[in-house]
Chain A
Amino acid sequence: MRLSNRFAGLSTWLLPISILVGLLAAWELWVQLGDVPRWQLPAPSAIAQELGSSRSLLWDHTLVTLEEIVVGFIAALAAGLILAAGIAYSRVLERSVYPIVIASQTVPIIAIAPLLLIWVGYGLTPKIIIVALICFYPIAVNTVDGLKAIDPDMVNMLRTLGASRWQVFTKLQVPTALPFMFSGIKIGVSVSVIAAVIGEWVGASEGLGYLITYSQPLFLTERVFAAIFLLSIMGIALFVLAVVAERMMMPWYFNEKRSRSLNQL
């Protein structure tokens, strides 16, 4: 039982990693044996070399993009949670604001990006706004759903214990909403990297997205790949961070899930 579990744990990592290594090896062989020109498709080894030799340049641009993402995401989180709380707490807000929030999602945010350049210029601000606008929606909508997913019997139980409306909100609605909120956060984190790159493509003088648009006409293809690699690493790291926060804030949720799945075995 224990052994098979451990094997299952190992194989969940082993399988995707070996597939990845296999793909990289095939890529390397393809480039080396086929004599593919470097500007067309650099080999993984060339990209790794670029990551090493240009590390300070890449690092500087990584920090810029990371700042856009972190600040934008935190703004989206704060705005999303406040708005979700307002919508869940007040009928009036739910009827007036919620439809607008949902309708706003049909506006292509990429199309707003050039406007932001006109309004707030070329600095970090327009990128932060784009990241915030894109991350806001999944966080807000999921949290609203979570705050409303309460069991009416639980509400009655709290009322018979003398709970006020505010206490029902803090003791029941907020904890009920946590798993939903984290779903929104995980979606938000995943799209935040894309949002930052789009923001930089529209007009910027720094950041990994800028580095890509800058390096491409110069045929510095291995640098484009190095930037893409760093962007993915950033996305994965942020996602892992969200998962860690989720597990720390909701230990009960994962214990319960684990014990359920163990019982099924």
Chain B
Amino acid sequence: MSADTAVQPKIKIESVCKSYVIGGEREDVLTGVDMTVHAGEFVSIIGPSGCGKSTLLNIIAGLDRPDSGSVELFGDTTSDTKGRLGQTGYMQQKDLLLPWRSVLDNTILGLELKGVPRRQAREQALEFTEAFGLKGFEDQYPFALSGGMRQRASFLRTMLMNQDVVLLDEPFGALDALTRIQMQEWLLQLWESLNKTIVLITHDVDEALLLSDRVYLLSARPGQVTMVLDVPLPRPRRYNMVTSPEFSVFKAQLMEPLWSQIVGTQPGSASGTHTGRI
């Protein structure tokens, strides 16, 4: 790879390790994780619960400091953990909307923190409320919204920061199956029009394959990359692709190691049937 900045990866993670003290004992959460994400790529991280996926995003976003290893954002080797704060768009699992702000004022929170005047920030946000399915609900308080809407409001707050790199931690995890499919379809279209670099954490094999250019499979704790799967399915992609034969081939490739892991860690569940979710 040349040193040219044009092909410089947006995110480059090398042998990142992280451990926490849990119940008085030090436990490794991530052991030697490598990952590279280039401009405009959609990358998913999939793995069993507690494998350190969220920790990995926290490290990229600058909320957590790795014990060892290096994290480069935009090719910048000099910035430390704190220097990465505010450099990425990070949407966490919970929508984390402030209950005292209207939907519109929640979405402009990041702009407001950057010093953009409220009126101007609101105008900016209003241009997107339709695309994010929030039109007509701008002045409502979050408690009055459905789960999907709250999630989209949280997503708009993240996207209005206009960061090149967007980190999504199970954004659809709390939604019911049908709403989740709607949101995946919606995210696909949005991403295709916005040209962002996205890292998505998910539990859902279909979701990972449908959305991503590449899927990283993490092992159960301590988290390690056990498989990197390229998904060269044609774009634009639509949800009905999940039933296509090509899709099934990728799914089988991903399910195989995933399944052996689940069976390996939970002996009692060996007789269970294959499902798309873990």
Contacts and interface: CB of A to CB of B under 8 A. Distances in A.
A256 B88 CA distance: 32
A161 B96 contact: no
Contacts of B63: 156, 159-160
> Top 10 closest A-B pairs, CB basis?
A162-B86, A161-B110, A160-B90, A157-B96, A256-B143, A252-B100, A175-B100, A252-B141, A163-B113, A160-B61
Contact of B98 (A156, A167, A172, A259): A172
Contacts of A167: 113
A253 interface: yes
**Interface size bucket, A side?**
20 to 34
5 contacts: A153-B92, A156-B58, A158-B109, A175-B98, A256-B141
Given A157-B92, A256-B141, A259-B144, A162 B100 contact: no
B161 A161 contact: yes
B47 interface: no
A187 B98 CA distance: 27
Interface of B: 58, 61-63, 85-86, 88, 90, 92, 94, 96, 98-101, 109-110, 112-114, 141, 143-144, 157, 161
Contacts of B112: 171
Nearest to B157: A161
Contacts of A172: 98
B99 A160 contact: no
A250 interface: yes
A161 B94 CA distance: 15
Interface string A177-209: 010000000000000000000000000000000
Contacts of B85: 159-160, 162
Interface of A: 151, 153-154, 156-163, 167, 171-172, 175, 178, 250, 252-253, 255-256, 259-260
Contacts of A171: 98, 109, 112-113
B34 to A, nearest CB: 23
A260 B101 CA distance: 18
A154 B141 contact: no
B122 to A, nearest CB: 16
B86 A154 contact: no
A175 B62 CA distance: 26
B62 A160 contact: yes
A32 B90 CA distance: 76
Given A252-B141, A255-B141, A256-B141, A162 B113 contact: yes
Contacts of A252: 99-101, 141, 143
A256 B99 contact: yes
Given A159-B86, A162-B86, A162-B110, 6 more contacts: A154-B96, A160-B85, A162-B85, A255-B143, A256-B141, A260-B143
A35 B85 CA distance: 81
Contacts of B114: 162
A160 B98 contact: no
Nearest to B84: A160
A260 to B, nearest CB: 8
